[in-house]
Amino acid sequence: MRRIEPERLAPSAPVDEAVATLADLASPDPAPTLDRKRFRRLFTSVMVPMFLAAADQTLLATATPVISRELGSLRDTSWLAVAYLLAAVIMVPLYGRLGDRYGRRKVLSYAIAVFALGSLACGAAPSLGLLVAARVLQGLGGGGLMTLSQALIGEVVAPRLRARNQSYFAIIFTLASVGGPVIGGLVVHHASWRWLFLVNLPLCAIAVWRLGTMFGDDRVHKVGGKPDALGIVLFALTAASGLVWLSSAGHHFAWASPTSAALIAATGVFAAALVRVERRAERPFLPFELLALPAVRYAVLTVIAFASAMFAMVFYLPVYLQLALRTNPAESGLLLLPLTAGIVGGAFVTGRIIVRTGRPTVIPSAGLIVSALSLIGLALLPATKPYLIGLEITTGLGLGSVMSVMQIVTQTAAGPARLGAAASTVALARSLGSSLGASAFGALIYGLIGAAPSIAGARSALADARIFRAFEVAFLAAAALCLAAAWAASRVPALRFDREQAVTTPPVE
């Protein structure tokens, strides 16, 4: 093990910021105490935005087959996820920068307002095309909910105390992630899917009201340089062209068609131009300076691969349950519970381990390997409910070990003045991974199934065989992503939150 000097923790940050971070983590003085009154105000202010961000996808996952029957084909419903995530991906880095400059509480309030407007448009959408457009608007606001909430937490709570109070925030994810599929399934089964969006309106009003009580709790950090408008446009074009190709090739046009080649070429050109512009920008849109840090770079790779696998499971497992096992929406919501409960349980256990050991970075690799083995089991073992429930739990436990660790690692490496950029970096990686998962797995599953399958009614034995085969391949692909994420997590430099010594890391070859 070797000691990290302050300059090596964040070479592009001012030395005093790095020193402050190390002092917070490794001071020989007693551990920092938490202002309970301030923490309660923070918790009750960010809990609703975090709930909305966490619940949005799990609520909708069980509804997509029903929406397909009412508004359009099942294949095209993958755009309900892709459109939201694409908009969120574009906005995540921008919200991080805006939060640092203008105050996270203020910018979060605006993000909630945009999310509410998008939710209203989704609830009133008369066609699948307009619903997808409304999801874009909702994503423009949703991109800031988790990012800015995490940045506010980082502003108020010291790193080790964040792990110690992980259980409080686990309550939010428990209610959202575990309750989301059940609530979504019941609402869709007994009422209309439109209520899944309309219910956001009073929750958004409560969130904005509570944030008003936090006046003065967040700080504004002065930022120099010109805004990177061109970087924003190029990033949007790169993400949009890449995801359109990934989700539409093999369905709306052939993989080897001129349209496919044009989209690939456009993605490459936009990406090359984006890198060139960002390297020269005075205030780059993408936090390239953070990616120079090994801890941040490997954390980002871990989160992208992990999020692709996790979101593919959350979004397409209900489709598998309703297509292959012929469950109704309410039952598929209940059968998604073991996965989401496992994710929450994994996050809670990870927080407790960090508190006891002070060593967060060894946990995700082991957890992701457990998830990979469980996904292989889902692909190869008989499709019975006992096997399904048990393997969902172990898959979720492994997946739940990732995000809290990577948030802490990234924020610690970035330093106090760049908490917003650090939070947005991880949130961007998560949103990008989720977008890739939604696009790639949708193309994979529906490409292998072939003709649009029937949700209800008689199907041939050949059609059933294609459905099971498609999801077997999808589970194996998700397992491969988990193994890739485990490798990346193993490369994250080892941080230690001990009071008696400085943060240390082994050499990275």
Tell me if 31 is assigned to some domain: no
Give me the number of domains the chain comprises: 2
Tell me if 178 is assigned to some domain: yes
β partners of residue 2: 505
Is residue 129 located within the same domain as residue 273? Answer: no
Is residue 264 located within the same domain as residue 190? Answer: no
Is residue 250 located within the same domain as residue 299? Answer: no
Among 93-107, 129-143, 154-168, 375-389, the least confident range:
154-168
For the domain that residue 343 is a member of, what is the CATH number?
1.20.1250.20
Is residue 256 located within the same domain as residue 375? Answer: no
Tell me if 25 is assigned to some domain: no
Is residue 265 located within the same domain as residue 396? Answer: no
Is residue 209 located within the same domain as residue 233? Answer: no
Question: What pLDDT shows up at residue 13?
Answer: 36
DSSP for residue 3 = E
At which of 282, 297, 320 does a domain end?
A: 282
Tell me if 450 is assigned to some domain: yes
pLDDT digits (tens, 9 = 90+) for 372-414: 999 999 999 887 888 899 999 999 999 988 887 888 888 777 7
How many residues in total does the chain contain?
509
**Containing structural domain, residue 276:** 229-282
Distances (CA, A) of 271 to 24, 238, 424, 436: 38, 6, 19, 16
Is residue 275 located within the same domain as residue 287? Answer: no
Residues 6+ apart with CB under 8 A from 239: 86, 89, 90, 432, 435
Question: What pLDDT shows up at residue 21?
Answer: 35
Tell me if 221 is assigned to some domain: no
In the numeric block, the tokens 């909305």 are attached to: 52
Is residue 132 located within the same domain as residue 233? Answer: no
In the numeric block, the tokens 């050991």 are attached to: 357
Is residue 255 located within the same domain as residue 304? Answer: no
Residues 6+ apart with CB under 8 A from 461: none
Is residue 290 located within the same domain as residue 277? Answer: no
Tell me if 30 is assigned to some domain: no
Among 348-352, 428-432, 492-496, the least confident range:
492-496
pLDDT digits (tens, 9 = 90+) for 291-336: 778 888 898 999 999 999 988 888 888 888 888 888 877 788 788 8
Q: Angle of helix 166-173 relative to helix 329-357, nearest 10 degrees?
A: 170
Among 7-16, 26-35, 159-168, 466-475, the least confident range:
7-16
Q: Which is more confidently placed, 188 or 61?
A: 188
Among positive and negative, which fits the CA dihedral 77, 481, 399, 207? negative
User: Is 487 within 8 Å of 302 (Cβ atoms)?
Assistant: no
Q: Which helix (H) or strand (E) holds 504?
A: strand 504-505
> Residue 273: which pLDDT band, with cuts at 50, 70 and 90?
very high
Looking only at the bridges linking them, the beta strands covering 2-3 and 504-505 are: antiparallel
Is the pLDDT assigned to residue 120 strictly greater than 90?
yes
Q: Which helix (H) or strand (E) holds 2?
A: strand 2-3
Distances (CA, A) of 309 to 87, 396, 436: 20, 11, 9
Tell me if 245 is assigned to some domain: yes
User: Is 368 within 8 Å of 306 (Cβ atoms)?
Assistant: yes
Is the pLDDT assigned to residue 203 strictly greater than 80?
yes
Taking the C-alpha atoms of residue 217 and residue 211, their distance in angstroms, rounded to an integer, is 10
User: Is 108 within 8 Å of 52 (Cβ atoms)?
Assistant: no
Tell me if 203 is assigned to some domain: yes
Is residue 425 located within the same domain as residue 482? Answer: yes
Is residue 86 located within the same domain as residue 117? Answer: yes
